[in-house]
Amino acid sequence: MERLSDWYDHPEYYEAIFGTDTARELDFLVEVNRRYGTGGKLLLEPACGAGRLVAEAASRGYRVVGYDLSEKMLAHARERLSPALRRKVRLYASPMQEFFRPELEGKVDLAFNLVSTFRYLDSEQAALAHLEGTRRLLNPKGLYVLGFHLTDYDRKKPEHERWVERLGKDTVVCNTREGLPDRRLRRSTMRNRLRITGPGKDLLIETHWYFRTYDLTQTRRLFRRAGLEVLAVYDFDYQVDAPRKKGEMRLDSIFVLRAAK
């Protein structure tokens, strides 16, 4: 078995796992944009990775700006776009806490960041800088749709998720483990293992990192500080007709945010 590290250096395997829901996620975003936002055509994806959602949105006629820290993920995002789609897309290398483009200020109809990526921001200052910076780019009626897994600080066991997908003749098995949260340091240890097997191939890509932790109170306080109000909250099942009812609590949460009035 060959051992490698950092799944973002291997976008094709990352996307084999995360790419399966892309059309449904975009259907959800389009409908959220129509119901709560401007319904306009300029989208922004912070930490866009290998560009699955960027490409899907561009193919539906949207203009899309994406940025990411990983050059390898961005290279994959560029390669997947046909020349016609490339004209609708702008991709940049940037960290979430710093991204700014003057030509986008006040213009973005919908920004989105769906799969807990926001939790890579490892301090309150970094998270706040990202939220304030994104808010600055939004049209006054624009939205930031932010999805991430909230933390139950009382849980006693690590959390596991496992997916299996096919990529051509290969099988990709993905195991993600979130360790117990550290309430004081506001972080959990994370580990991902991608095991890829196929003809002549046996590969293990193991990645370790920390995710910042948020319970609902910490989340709402941060949004308030960033000048964002919550218009609706959804589960990760992308059912646009089923926003969460007041007082209902689930950890997987998609927040529909707008600049506070």
Residue 173 or 229: the one with the smaller Cβ distance to ligand SAM is 173
Please identify which residue in 12, 63, 90, 95 interacts with ligand SAM, judged by CB under 6 A. Answer: 95
Lookup: tokens for 91: 């991709």
Query: What letter represents residue 246's amino acid?
Result: K
Binding mask 97-126 for ligand SAM (x = CB under 6 A): -----------------xx-x--x------
Q: Return the residue nearest ligand SAM (CB atom).
A: 49
By CB under 6 A, residue 167 contacts ligand SAM:
no
- For the chain, give percent helix, strand, coil, nearest 5: 30, 35, 30
**CA-to-CA distance for 205 and 3, rounded, in angstroms?**
6
Distances (CA, A) of 135 to 54, 223, 229, 231: 20, 11, 11, 14
Q: Total residues at the site for ligand SAM (CB under 6 A)? A: 17
Residue 74 or 259: the one with the smaller Cβ distance to ligand SAM is 74
By CB under 6 A, residue 172 contacts ligand SAM:
no
Residues forming beta bridges with residue 251, ordered by sequence position: none
By CB under 6 A, residue 28 contacts ligand SAM:
no
CA 199, chain centre distance (Å): 32
DSSP at 202: E
By CB under 6 A, residue 128 contacts ligand SAM:
no
Residue 117 or 151: the one with the smaller Cβ distance to ligand SAM is 117
Burial label for 14, CB within 10 Å (0-12, 13-18, 19+), is buried
Binding mask 49-78 for ligand SAM (x = CB under 6 A): x--xx--------------xxx--x-----
Query: For ligand SAM, which stretch binds (CB under 6 A), given 42-50, 164-172, 210-218, 237-245?
Result: 42-50
Residue 202 or 252: the one with the smaller Cβ distance to ligand SAM is 252
- CA neighbor of 230 nearest in space, from 146, 110, 137, 105: 146
Residue 48 or 91: the one with the smaller Cβ distance to ligand SAM is 48
Residue 115 or 180: the one with the smaller Cβ distance to ligand SAM is 115
Helix (H, G, I), strand (E, B) or coil at 181: coil
Distances (CA, A) of 108 to 19, 59, 111, 140, 251: 24, 18, 7, 9, 28
Query: What letter represents residue 31's amino acid?
Result: E
By CB under 6 A, residue 190 contacts ligand SAM:
no
Q: Please state, as a whole number, how many other Cβ atoms lie within 10 Å of the Cβ of residue 144.
A: 27
Lookup: tokens for 185: 């340091």
CB of 197 to ligand SAM, least distance (A): 23
Please identify which residue in 13, 18, 214, 223 interacts with ligand SAM, judged by CB under 6 A. Answer: 18
Q: Which residues in this chain contact ligand SAM in the complex, by CB under 6 A? A: 8, 18, 47-49, 52-53, 68-70, 73, 95-96, 114-115, 117, 120
